[in-house]
Structure 1
Amino acid sequence: MPALEFPDPALTDGLVTLRPWRESDLERRFEAFSDPLCLRFSWPLTGTPSLAHVRERFAAQEEARLSGDELPLAIVDAEDHLWGGCSLYDFAPGEARASVGYWVAAGARGRGVATRTTRLLAGWAFEHLALARLELVCEPANVASQRVAERCGFVREGVLRSHIPFQGGRRDSVIFSLLPGELLTSTALEVR
């Protein structure tokens, strides 16, 4: 698959902006992602994350973008404060399918950031990548992510048992799907 190009211009709804990661973001990314909630639901390894892990992930994501496997983006506010990260990944081009994922820094939670991010990314993916299906998976105890999926119009399909390797074992995942025309685009949520 060819390299995935970053949205140009950056995706924004006026409050949330999705832009390419920069090397200058890495320390802020490490600090934000080191939050216990991010580690509980999004950190797949058993050890404690380090700045070296973040640098390795940054490089791996760029390689994945160039090979057409992942499109990673930083979530920032209008003043470029880092609010989290998101990506399109698990591309299956022959099936016109991909997955969407995100994490939100502690200081940005409870403001609709994940919902706005998912709406922006899903709308762009359907329009510019001609996807026929977008998936969202999360840990069954991650109720906040399940609510984000539902607010965006994703339909819960079930639980994938022993779905992925996670923190030294295996983890179940709740799977949601979204098809073209199903995205709920209400912007009633306010970022404070």
Structure 2
Amino acid sequence: MDPITLVTERLLLRPAEPGDIDAVLAACQDPGIQRWLPVPSPYEREHAEEYVLKIIPAGWREDRQYDLVLTDLESGALVGSAGVGRAAGPEERVRSVGFWTAPGHRGQGYAGEAVAALARWAFTELGADRLEWLAQVGNEGSRSVARKAGFTMEGVLRSRLIHRGVRRDAWVASLLPSDLGLAPQVPYGARATYPARTAG
């Protein structure tokens, strides 16, 4: 698939360019990014070059991971990155969403704005019927973004992620086309109901 661009109220979501390498390198020095995301540590220039010049283009070319950088419409500053990837087989129409925000640009709603735009694109252009967000338990910033983008928290997946060689529990949340007033590609069946759990 050819890379796309999306424009929101404050952001341009676009393919990464060689000129983004320095900004990606600077952002990924952040202890918060290294604490929660599977980026190399220490994060060297070669890692930023590989991400911008190889990993992102390969994801688009192979039609499996659609990452974009987030830039401020007014200043052009790189404020983060966000993407949608495959979370299951193509017939299941389940995609995952991930994102990071550069230090100095957090708490301004950029990630939520980007995720909302990517979600609508994933439902209308990729044919997704479910978007999933996963993050290590404790990553409150990421959870806040997911909630603001309309995701419904579903629970904890025990030992779901491996980070720095250690298994970690993960929060999971989902967003459906119907949450945005869109029709699903595959019709919904009856929703399950579960009895309340009791101690005992």
TM-score by length of 1: 0.87
Which of 37, 47, 51 matches 2:32? 37
Query: 1:106 Cα deviation (Å)?
Result: 1.0
> 1:31 is matched by which residue type in structure 2?
A
Which of 60, 69, 72 matches 2:64? 69
8 A contact 1:44–1:165 mirrored in 2: no
CA distance in 1, matches of 2:168, 2:42: 18
Percent identity of paired positions between Structure 1 and Structure 2: 32
Structure 2 residue 143 is the aligned partner of structure 1 residue 143: no
What per-residue deviation string (whole Å, max 9, x for no partner) do you get for residues 111-161 of structure 1? 011110110110111111111000011111111211211122211111111
CA distance in 2, matches of 1:128, 1:97: 13
8 A contact 1:38–1:103 mirrored in 2: yes
> 1:157 is matched by which residue type in structure 2?
E
8 A contact 2:3–2:60 mirrored in 1: no
Query: 1:14 Cα deviation (Å)?
Result: 2.6
Query: 1:90 Cα deviation (Å)?
Result: 2.5
5+ residue gaps, structure 2: 182-200
Query: 1:102 Cα deviation (Å)?
Result: 0.4
Matched with 1:106 is 103
Aligned pair count reads 178
Structure 2 residue 177 is the aligned partner of structure 1 residue 183: no
5+ residue gaps, structure 1: 185-192
Matched with 1:17 is 12
Matched with 1:188 is none
Query: 1:44 Cα deviation (Å)?
Result: 4.5
CA distance in 1, matches of 2:57, 2:14: 13
> 2:122 is matched by which residue type in structure 1?
A
Structure 2 residue 85 is the aligned partner of structure 1 residue 89: yes
Structure 2 residue 47 is the aligned partner of structure 1 residue 53: yes
**RMSD in angstroms over aligned alpha carbons?**
1.6
Matched with 2:76 is 80
Q: Which runs of 4+ in 1 moved over 6 A?
A: none
> 2:45 is matched by which residue type in structure 1?
L
Query: 1:69 Cα deviation (Å)?
Result: 1.1
